[in-house]
Amino acid sequence: MQRRSFIQQGFGAGASTLVSTSILSTASKKLQGPAQPFKMDYAFHDGMFKNNGGSNFVDQIQFAYDNGFRSIEDNGMMGRTVDDQKKIADKLAKLNMRMGVFVVAYDNWPLQTSLTSGKADWKDKFLKTCNEAVEVAKRCNAKWMTVVPGNYDRTLSMEYQTSNVIDALRRGAAIFEPHGLIMVLEPLSDTPELFLRHSDQTYMICQAVNSPSCKILFDMYHMQRNEGNIINNINKAWDQIAYFQIGDNPGRKEPGTGEMNYRNIFKHIHEKGYKGILGMEHGNVKPGKEGEEALIKAYRDADSF
């Protein structure tokens, strides 16, 4: 499964109206007023609730709020029109919801040998996009932005590539820091060509950049695939983690569909005092309205620690 693409959900049959109040679906509870918020702040993405909430992202935000969610994330926010960015921000403000990550889109997927190369044109492109991202963040009231340094440059040693990445990120952090914004570095598992793949490697780079505007995005799906030992590795990298993302493995779907014990993981993160966002960067295991309702139930189960 590619990093930024998720299964498109088909339209499912609606639930029968001949059900008792005690077995109404989680999604149907929105008709009785907003559901209780979750203990943790889970952020859904556009399309995740399109069958129940509608094709318009703003309408999906209302549906998600009515079912207890209090944040969104939107990887493609920089590609939206200014008008759409403002509409999303206005809806979030009205509901007192938070905006999670969007991607600093300086290098379209699949990634290239960009920041690792140390080449001036890539560095300039990255810094130009960082400046553009500041304006997007202001419009949509965002605080965190995903950055991925690109693929390995096989012509350079690991040490030179790491130095090149640190240099570029220090310059990016200098752009974000005056605005209180945080770029979060995301180690990934999609391809062996990716330079940033492990939490300890990302931790070391954040330490070297040495800025409050350069931290770790700990995507638990990717880290389960690359290194496992999730709770211990979260503990080791804790002081540099600013954002989490979720996805069970295998399959990259909602909690409870794979091998990971998300109830224990969420409990651990909660007990450590985390007040940030956990992005739901995964697909739905079932299509249609049923799949969306199953997803809400899965989060209720995982959040019941």
Predicted pLDDT of residue 33: 55
Q: List, in order, residues 6 or more apart from 221 with CB less than 8 Å away.
A: 189, 245, 246, 247, 248, 249, 252, 281, 282
Please tell us whether the domain made up of 34-302 is placed in CATH 3.20.20.150: yes
- In angstroms, rounded to a whole number, what is the distance separating the alpha carbons of residues 178 and 220? 30
From residue 268, give the alpha-carbon distance in Å to each of 199, 272, 292: 18, 6, 26
**Splitting the chain (305 residues) into consecutive groups of 10 residues, what average pLDDT does each group show?**
41 31 39 78 98 98 98 98 98 98 91 94 98 98 98 97 98 98 98 97 98 99 98 98 98 98 98 98 98 98 98
Predicted pLDDT of residue 89: 98
For the chain, the structural domain boundaries read 34-302
Q: Is the dihedral of CA 211, 41, 188, 148 positive or negative?
A: negative
Predicted pLDDT of residue 189: 98
Predicted structure pTM score: 0.89
Predicted pLDDT of residue 109: 77
Tokens for 73?
């994330």
Predicted pLDDT of residue 179: 98
